Amino acid sequence: MPVSAVRVQVLWVAAVGAILLGPAPAAYPQSPAPASPILERHEGDDYTRYELLAPDSAQFRIVYEVTATRPGTRLFFNVIRKGSEASDEAVFDRMTGQPLPFKVVSGTEARAAGQANADPEAQYIQVTLARPVPEKGETRLRIEKTYRDTKSYYREGDLIVFNRGLGITRNAVVLPAGYELVACNVPSQILTERDGRIAASFLNTYPVEAPLVVKARPLTASSSLAAAASASGTVPAVGPGNVDGSPGR
């Protein structure tokens, strides 16, 4: 091959290489992400347990486990949902099991204390941590409270209904003693607790709050017997013959 042809090929390869290896074109401009409507910081390992209390009370007990991860902070804020009346609050350090001091503050007070995105019209449980959150560390908390909310927990004929949007990833709803589940609109694992109560446990895979609706009814005598057997791990003998009372074969 003539030298001039080789030189042309080398120059062509060099030019192509310069194009391929040159600086990448500027990315298309993107709109900023919308501000999150969440007024708390969630770390993905949060867990909330809702224990439905007496059906006519419209009350449910909440056990909320959450991790504080912001380095150096001594305060943690847990919002009290609008429309719910809170009582029986308590906060514990999960590492030591010791109770932590807290107080209920307005959204304005929460902002002044460092919760920059607090809703001025909401109330918050302001928790004083036992120690500042360490760099690359965390503090695990357990927050307990009881809500009364007639729009979330109510009767519907012979049924009780728990109708509430849940934004936490891991959740469990425990029915009152003596009730069985008849409907749940979110895929859930149904469990019988050691005391015989029925619980629906689920992961929220929605990009927003899970629009949970749980319905339950009073257990019948046979259902109560089966629930007690499941909780104890035994099969009761309800009559001669088979365990369902029918004649033996």
Q: Side chain identity at 18, as an amino acid letter?
A: A
Looking at the fold, whether 67 and 141 belong to one and the same domain comes out as: yes
Q: Which two tokens stand for residue 181?
A: 């589940």
Examine the domain organization and report whether 175 and 196 are in the same domain.
Answer: yes
Q: What is the pLDDT of residue 15?
A: 41
66 and 140 both lie in a single domain? yes
Could you tell me if residue 106 is inside a domain?
A: yes
Which residue, 149, 184, 201, sits at the end of a domain?
Answer: 149
Check whether 228 has a pLDDT greater than 70.
no
pTM > 0.75: yes or no: no
Taking residues 164-170, report their average pLDDT.
94
Euclidean distance between CA atoms 112 and 85, whole angstroms: 24
Could you tell me if 134 and 156 lie in one domain? no
Average pLDDT of span 170-193? 97
Task: Give the pLDDT of residue 241.
Answer: 40
Q: Is residue 39 domain-resident?
A: no
Looking at per-residue pLDDT, the higher value among 60 and 237 belongs to 60
pLDDT digits (tens, 9 = 90+) for 90-130: 999 999 999 999 999 999 999 999 999 999 999 999 999 99
45 pLDDT band, cuts 50/70/90, is confident
Q: Decide if 248 is inside a domain.
A: no
Residue with more model confidence, 155 or 224 = 155
DSSP state of 219: P
Q: Which domain holds residue 206?
A: 152-234
- Report CA dihedral (222, 225, 229, 231) to the nearest 10 degrees: 110
pLDDT confidence of residue 160: 98
The answer on 156 and 110 residing in a single domain is no
Same domain as 134, residue 176: no
- What's the confidence (pLDDT) of residue 234? 54
Q: Are 161 and 144 within one domain?
A: no
| For residues 173-195, average pLDDT | 97
The total of structural domains in the chain comes to 2
Last residue of a domain, one of 118, 149, 180: 149
Answer whether residue 48 shows pLDDT above 60: yes
Residue 107 lies inside a defined structural domain of this protein? yes
pLDDT, the chain, mean: 81
| 243, part of any domain | no
For residue range 169-180, what is the model confidence (pLDDT) as tens digits?
A: 999 999 999 999
Domain containing 104 — which CATH number? 2.60.40
Residues 113, 183, single domain; the answer is no
DSSP annotation string for 122-178? SEEEEEEPSSPPPTT--EEEEEEEEEE-TTTEEEETTEEEEEEEE-SSEEEEEPPTT
Q: Is 179 found in the same domain as 190?
A: yes
Choosing from 149, 170, 200, the residue where a domain stops is 149
| 153 neighbors 31 (Cβ within 8 angstroms) | no
> Quick check: is 18 in a domain?
no
Q: Based on the fold, state whether residues 131 and 144 are members of the same structural domain.
A: yes
Look at residue 30 and tell me if it is in a domain: no
Q: Does some domain include residue 67?
A: yes
- Radius of gyration of the chain from its Cα atoms, rounded to whole angstroms: 28
Tens-place pLDDT, residues 63-73: 999 999 999 99
Summarize the confidence of residues 131-147 as an average pLDDT.
Answer: 95
